[in-house]
Structure 1
Amino acid sequence: MADHWFIILISMLCVAAAELERFELPAKGDGSLSFLVIGDWGRRGAFNQSQVAFQMGKIGEKLDIDFVVSTGDNFYDNGLSGPQDPVFEQSFTNIYTANSLQKRWFSGKLPFLLHILNWLTGHLLGNHDYRGDAEAQLSHLLRKIDSRWLCLRSFIVDAEHAEIIFVDTTPFVKSYFLDPEDHTYDWRGIHPSKHYVTNLLKDVERALRESRAKWKIVVGHHAIRSIGHHGDTPELATHLFPILKANGVDFYMNGHDHCLEHISDTESPIQFLTSGAGSKAWRGDVKRVNRKGLKFFYDGQGFLSVKLTPPDAEIVFYDVYGKILHTWNATKQFI
C-alpha cells in the first residue's frame, strides 16, 4: 500500500480559529478517494457500536478506504472527564480495531506533524462532547494512548479533487447557552460565542470561495435538514446554509440525529447526508413535516461510504449487518 494512505476518524470538531488549519492528502494512483462516515458512536461498544465497527472494517477493506469521517458525539453521555478517562479506550481504541481503519498518515507538506503523529484520527466535537471536558479531547495526551487521535475544532482536508471542511456547529445552537437544562457545557475557547461563530463563518466562506476542488464537502455535527428527532437546526439554516449554497457545496454531512438519511435540496445541488447511527438509534422518532427532497431515511444503526473520482460520486448507506440500504450516484462535467 502506498505511503500516502491516510486515516481521519473525524467526529465533532475541535479548533477555535482564525484561519482554518489545512491538511493535505494525495488521492490514490487511479485518482479515486474513498472514505466512511460515522457519527454518535462512543458507548463502550454497546447499542451495536461494536457490530457497526465490525462492518465498517469489512466495507473499509473492500473499498480500500483512505480515511474515516466521524460526525461527532464521540463519547456518551457527557464526553470525557479528562485525558485519562478510560472511556477513551473503551469507546474508541478497543472498538475500531480492523486493519482497514488503521491507515498511515502521509503529507509531505506537514513534516512537523509527521514527527509527532504516526497515525491520525481527526475528530469533531458534538454537543455531548461539550458536556464533558472538551479540552481533554484536544489534549496531546490522548495521542500517547492512541496515536491515531487528532482533535481540532474546525479544519480542512485537501484531498486533491475533493476538499472537506469540518465546522464546529455546537456553538451555533443558542439553546445550549440560554437553556442548558441540567447540563454543564465546557465553553472554554468559545466565549464570546457570537464572536467565535462570526469568525468561523468568515473562515468557512473564505475557504469555500477560494477552493478549486471539483467536489466540495462540509461536515458538521448538527443537521441543516433532517426529519429525525432533532430535525433542522435553525441557526445553521440561517447562517451556514446560504454560504454553502452560494459557493457550490456538493455535500453537507452531519450526525446528531441517530439515524441515516439523505435529503436533496430542492433549490441547489446540495445533498444533506446524515450519519449519526454509530450506536444507539431512536426507532420511530420521525417528524412528519418538511419532507421536501427526502430520498432515504432509516432509524437503525449503520454508516455510509463515499467514493469520489474527479467526475463521479457514489454514496452508499449500510445497516448494522453491512446490507446496502440506499445508493446515490452523481456525475459532474468539468471543462
Structure 2
Amino acid sequence: MASPSPPLHPATILCIYFVLPAFAELQRLQHQPKHDGSLNFLVIGDWGRKGKYNQSLVATQMGKMGDKLDLDFVVSTGDNFYNSGIKGLNDPIFIQSFSNIYTAKSLRKPWYSVLGNHDYRGNALAQVSPILRKIDRRWFCQRSFVLHAGVADFFFIDTTPFMNKYFNNSNRHYDWRGVLPRQKYLKNLLKDLEEALVKSSARWKIVVGHHAIRSIGHHGDSVELIKLLVPLFEANNVDMYMNGHDHCLQHISSINSPLLYLTSGAGSKAWRGDVKESHSGVKFFYDGQGFMSVQITETDAKFAFYNVSGDQIHHWTVTKPIMHTVA
C-alpha cells in the first residue's frame, strides 16, 4: 500500500488555489434578489484606515441608509486596506479596518470586493483567500469574477495589472503572484470578460473595477482602460462602470453611448483639492467623504450620493423601457 502524501503547507494550498486559476474562466456567483426582483446596494471604495479620516462616520451613515433600503449587499471598489493591503491571513488590520468598523446590522450582508493598487502592495493572495471568510463571513474578494443577481449582472475586474505605471515604478513592491506573465494575464482576462458580457442576458450590465476610466479627480482618466475596456463595454451594452481610486464621488456620462462612469472612492481620506479640467459629460463631482446607493428594478436604476453627515448631495434616475416583441 502506498504511503499517504504529506499534508500541504498552507502557503502551498494558497498558491494552488489562487495562482493557477489566474488563467481560468471567471468565477461565477449567484446572489438571490428580493421577491419582487429588485436590488438595493451600497458602493464604497478606498476605505480601510482603522476608522480614521472619517471612515467610522461614513460607516455609521452607511448603516443608517442600509436600514432604509433593506440592503442586499455592499460593493467595494478596492483599496480596501491602507497603506499596503494586508500582510497575511492573521493581519489584525482586517478586523481593525473592516469587521470593527462596519458593525451595523444592515451591513451584515455580503461585501463583494475587488483589489486596488494599495492592496497589491501587501499580500494580495491573502486578501483574496476564502480563509478570511472564517474571520468575517461577509467578505468576498477576488481579482475578477461575475455576480449574477437576477435583474443585473456584475462584472468585477482587476484593473491594477492594466496600469503601466505600477510595472515601471521599481521603488515600490507589488504582489504580482498569479499575474505574471502580465500580457498573458491581461489577454485571458479580456477574453473571459468579453465572453461573459456577450453571454449575459441581464437587464442591467454593471462593471466594477478600482481605477477610474473617466475622472476629473486627482488621478484623472486611465488611458489603458479607455483603450482596452471601453470598446468592450460599448459593444456589449454595459450600462455603468463603478470605480474608486480617486477619493471623491463622481457622476460622468459618456458622450458616445448611454454608459455611465461612477466613482465612489470616498470611504475615508478625501479632500485632495485638485480637480482637473472638466469633461463635457460631468454631471457631478464632490471632493469629500461619502458613498453611493443604488436601487435597481427591471425598468429603473436610482442612484444617490451621500456625504459624511448622511446628507443626500446628488441623485438621479435612469430608465430602461421594456421592449415588447410584436408577433
1:136 is aligned, of 121, 126, 132, to: 126
Task: Point out the more displaced range, 136-145 or 222-231.
Answer: 136-145
Match of 2:29 in 1: 23
Contact persistence 1:302–1:317 (CA under 8 A)? yes
Amino acid at match of 1:122: Y
Seen in structure 2, the aligned counterparts of structure 1 residues 170 and 79 have a Cα distance that, compared at 3 Å, is same
1:254 is aligned, of 220, 234, 243, to: 243
- Asked if 1:225 corresponds to 2:225, the answer is no
- Asked if 1:72 corresponds to 2:62, the answer is no
Structure (1 or 2) with the larger CA radius of gyration: 2
Structure 1 position 150, deviation (Å): 2.1
The 5-angstrom pairing of residues 195-234 of structure 1 reads 195-234=184-223
Structure 1 position 333, deviation (Å): 1.2
Structure 1 position 143, deviation (Å): 2.0
Contact persistence 1:17–1:154 (CA under 8 A)? no
Structure 1 position 16, deviation (Å): 2.5
2:155 aligned counterpart, secondary structure:
strand
Structure 1 position 144, deviation (Å): 2.2
Match of 1:96 in 2: 102
Contact persistence 1:71–1:221 (CA under 8 A)? yes
Match of 1:8 in 2: none
Match of 1:108 in 2: none
Contact persistence 1:80–1:136 (CA under 8 A)? yes
Match of 1:275 in 2: 264
Provide structure 2 residue ranges, at least 5 long, that are not aligned to the other structure.
1-18
1:167 is aligned, of 157, 182, 185, to: 157
The one-character-per-residue Cα deviations of 1:223-242 (angstroms, maximum 9, x if unpaired) are 00000000111100000111
Contact persistence 2:218–2:272 (CA under 8 A)? no
- Asked if 1:147 corresponds to 2:153, the answer is no
Match of 1:4 in 2: none
Amino acid at match of 1:227: I
TM-score by length of 2: 0.91
The one-character-per-residue Cα deviations of 1:107-159 (angstroms, maximum 9, x if unpaired) are xxxxxxxxxxxxx4332110000001111112233222212222211001111
Contact persistence 1:16–1:154 (CA under 8 A)? no
The 5-angstrom pairing of residues 289-304 of structure 1 reads 290-304=278-292
Provide structure 1 residue ranges, at least 5 long, that are not aligned to the other structure.
1-13, 104-119
The 5-angstrom pairing of residues 46-57 of structure 1 reads 46-57=52-63
Structure 1 position 266, deviation (Å): 0.5
Identity over the aligned pairs, expressed in percent? 62
Task: Point out the more displaced range, 151-160 or 267-276.
Answer: 151-160
Structure 1 position 32, deviation (Å): 1.1
- Asked if 1:285 corresponds to 2:279, the answer is no
Divergent runs of 4+, >6 A: none
Query: Aligned partners of 1:63, 1:140: CA distance in 2, in Å?
Result: 28
Contact persistence 1:32–1:307 (CA under 8 A)? yes
Match of 1:127 in 2: 117
Contact persistence 2:38–2:296 (CA under 8 A)? yes
Aligned Cα RMSD in Å?
1.3
Contact persistence 2:271–2:289 (CA under 8 A)? no
TM-score by length of 1: 0.88
Match of 1:245 in 2: 234
Query: Aligned partners of 2:134, 2:202: CA distance in 1, in Å?
Result: 34
Contact persistence 1:39–1:255 (CA under 8 A)? yes
Structure 1 position 82, deviation (Å): 1.1
Contact persistence 1:26–1:160 (CA under 8 A)? yes
1:204 aligned counterpart, secondary structure:
helix
Match of 1:35 in 2: 41
Number of equivalenced pairs: 304
Seen in structure 2, the aligned counterparts of structure 1 residues 203 and 215 have a Cα distance that, compared at 3 Å, is same
- Asked if 1:308 corresponds to 2:296, the answer is yes
